[in-house]
Amino acid sequence: MTQANFPNSFPLTHLDAQGQAQMVDVSGKVATIRQGVATGKVRMLPETFAAIQAGNTPKGEVLATARLAGIMAAKQTANLIPLCHPLPLQKITVEIIPDAQLPGYQIDATVKTKAETGVEMEALTAVSIAALTLYDMAKALEKQSQTAVQRKE
């Protein structure tokens, strides 16, 4: 695939003239304050949600662990996403908000830096890993709840 395949589109900065993947050269840009924001949701059974809210989980502090995992993941984004620039991150917040109507949690991440390129990938990575961690820590509860529901039927 080359730029010629996309005649009416914006230039694809991650492809060179031969269509090979390349890291974008941001060396000519001025470092400015940048912020990336991402949101995700994790749905679960009402019983699982109630157990997490009550702090009654076999693996410990689910929400604190998921929040910390999201923060740590944002800092590792350049190691996970090919061609992503390693950036000095000045601020990372991960909020995990309970939503009984879902039932589950909304995860909001905000990442800030002063650099030559944006931090949207870091915010998306933070939300993704926080969600995966929340799922991992709660999956035993889901299996227990589903088994209990199946036995009642």
Give residue-wise pLDDT tens across range 85-120. Answer: 999 999 999 999 999 999 999 999 999 999 999 999
- C-alpha distances (whole Å) from 71 to each of 67, 94, 95 are 6, 7, 10
Rounded distance between C-alpha atoms, residue 54 and residue 122, angstroms: 31
Distance CA 98, CA 52 (A): 10
* Mean pLDDT estimate for the chain: 88
Instruction: Kindly give the residue spans of alpha helices, DSSP state H, lying in the chain.
Output: 46-54, 62-75, 77-80, 120-152
Tokens of 5: 């395949």
**Residue 3: pLDDT band with limits 50, 70, 90:** very low
pLDDT digits (tens, 9 = 90+) for 49-65: 999 999 999 888 999 99
133 with 69: CB under 8 angstroms?
A: yes
Catalytic member of 16, 99, 108, 136: 136
pLDDT of residue 26: 84
Residue 108 is among the residues annotated as catalytic for this protein = no
- In whole angstroms, give the CA distance from residue 137 to residue 53: 13
Asked if residues 89 and 74 have their Cβ atoms less than 8 Å apart, the reply is: yes
Lowest mean pLDDT among 4-18, 78-92, 110-124, 136-150: 4-18
Q: Which two tokens stand for residue 82?
A: 């090919």
For the entire predicted model, the pTM comes to: 0.83
**Residue 146 confidence class, pLDDT cut points 50, 70, 90:** low
Q: Could you give the C-alpha distances from 16 to 86, 101, 130, 150, in angstroms and in order?
A: 21, 47, 34, 55
- Residue 43 reports pLDDT greater than 80: yes
Regarding predicted confidence, which is higher, 153 or 89?
A: 89
Q: What amino acid is encoded at 55 in this protein?
A: G
